[in-house]
Amino acid sequence: MDAYNGDLELLNNEGNFELVFEKGYPEDFVREWPTIPEDTPLITKEVIQTKKAFLCEDVETLPKKYRVAQSFLRTSGAKSVAILPLKIGSDVVGAVQFTFRSPQKFAREDKIFMNTLANQCAQAFDRVFALESLQESKKELEVILKNVADGVIAQDSRNILVYYNKTALRLLACTNATQLRTLNRDTSEREMRDELGNFISHEEIFHKKIIKHEPTPQLIIQVINKRTNTVRWVMIKTTGIYHKNGDLFLIINTLQDITKTKELERRKDDFISVASHELKTPLTSLKLFLDILTNQIEEHHYSETERSIQKMKDQTQRLQRLITDLTDVSRIQKGKLDLRREEFLLEELITDTIEGLRLDISGHEIVFEKKASLPVNADKFRMYQVVSNLLTNASKYSPKGTKIIVTASKKAGKAVVSVQDFGIGIAKDQQKKIFEKLYQVEDLKKQTHSGFGMGLFIAAEIIKQHGGEIWVESKKGKGSTFFFTLPLVKQKK
Ligand code: ADP
Answer whether 440 contacts ligand 1 (Cβ < 6 A): yes
Query: Is pLDDT at 382 greater than 50 in this prediction?
Result: yes
Nearest 5°: the CA angle 334, 336, 337 is 125
Going by CA atoms, what residue is nearest to atom 14 of ligand 1?
A: 440
Answer whether 435 contacts ligand 1 (Cβ < 6 A): no
Query: Is pLDDT at 449 greater than 60 in this prediction?
Result: no
pLDDT of residue 216: 81
Answer whether 479 contacts ligand 1 (Cβ < 6 A): no
Query: Is pLDDT at 451 greater than 70 in this prediction?
Result: no
The H or E element containing residue 249 is strand 248-257
pLDDT of residue 492: 62
Asked if 10 contacts 91 with a C-beta cutoff of 8 angstroms, the reply is: no
Burial classification of residue 158, based on how many CB atoms lie within 10 Å of its CB (0-12 exposed, 13-18 middle, 19 or more buried): exposed
- Higher local confidence (pLDDT), 139 or 405: 405
Query: Is pLDDT at 438 greater than 90 in this prediction?
Result: no
What are the pLDDT digits (tens) for 180-200? 998 999 899 999 999 999 999
* Cross-strand bridge partners of residue 427: none
Answer whether 7 contacts ligand 1 (Cβ < 6 A): no
**Ligand 1 atom with the shortest distance to the CA of 453:** 8
What are the pLDDT digits (tens) for 129-167? 888 888 888 888 888 877 788 999 999 988 899 889 999
Answer whether 85 contacts ligand 1 (Cβ < 6 A): no
Instruction: Report the SS3 class of residue 75.
Output: helix
Mean pLDDT over all residues of the chain?
88
What are the pLDDT digits (tens) for 196-251? 999 999 998 888 888 888 888 899 999 999 999 999 999 999 999 898 888 888 99
* Cross-strand bridge partners of residue 405: 367, 420
Cβ neighbours, 10 Å, residue 347: 22
Query: Is pLDDT at 446 greater than 60 in this prediction?
Result: no
Distance 434 CA to ligand 1 centre (A): 7
Distance 8 CA to ligand 1 centre (A): 80
**Ligand 1 atom with the shortest distance to the CA of 457:** 6
Answer whether 171 contacts ligand 1 (Cβ < 6 A): no
Answer whether 393 contacts ligand 1 (Cβ < 6 A): yes
The pLDDT of 388-406, averaged and rounded, is 95
pLDDT of residue 27: 82
Distance 429 CA to ligand 1 centre (A): 14
Going by CA atoms, what residue is nearest to atom 19 of ligand 1?
A: 393
pLDDT of residue 467: 95
Going by CA atoms, what residue is nearest to atom 20 of ligand 1?
A: 393
**Ligand 1 atom with the shortest distance to the CA of 452:** 2
**Ligand 1 atom with the shortest distance to the CA of 439:** 10
- Of 213, 169, 159, 219, nearest in space to 194 by CA: 219
What are the pLDDT digits (tens) for 270-326? 778 778 888 888 888 889 889 988 988 888 888 888 888 888 888 898 888 888 888
Answer whether 419 contacts ligand 1 (Cβ < 6 A): no
Asked if 377 contacts 489 with a C-beta cutoff of 8 angstroms, the reply is: yes
- Higher local confidence (pLDDT), 287 or 336: 287
Query: Is pLDDT at 448 greater than 60 in this prediction?
Result: no
Virtual CA dihedral for 419, 425, 426, 428, nearest 10 degrees?
A: 100
Distance 63 CA to ligand 1 centre (A): 96
Distance 317 CA to ligand 1 centre (A): 20
Query: Is pLDDT at 13 greater than 80 in this prediction?
Result: no
Query: Is pLDDT at 450 greater than 70 in this prediction?
Result: no
Q: Are strands 414-421 and 479-487 parallel, antiparallel or unpaired?
A: antiparallel
The pLDDT of 35-59, averaged and rounded, is 86
Please give the Cα distance from 69 to 41 (Å, whole number).
8
Q: Which of 7-16, 168-177, 302-311, 434-443 has the highest mean pLDDT?
A: 168-177
Strand order, beta sheet including 161-164? 161-164, 151-156, 248-257, 230-242, 218-225, 190-194
The pLDDT of 455-474, averaged and rounded, is 95
Please give the Cα distance from 43 to 73 (Å, whole number).
12
- Of 149, 180, 144, nearest in space to 164 by CA: 180
Instruction: Report the SS3 class of residue 160.
Output: coil
Answer whether 397 contacts ligand 1 (Cβ < 6 A): yes
Asked if 450 contacts 439 with a C-beta cutoff of 8 angstroms, the reply is: no
The pLDDT of 91-102, averaged and rounded, is 90
Answer whether 461 contacts ligand 1 (Cβ < 6 A): no
**Ligand 1 atom with the shortest distance to the CA of 479:** 24
pLDDT of residue 442: 63
Asked if 69 contacts 107 with a C-beta cutoff of 8 angstroms, the reply is: no
- Higher local confidence (pLDDT), 276 or 384: 384
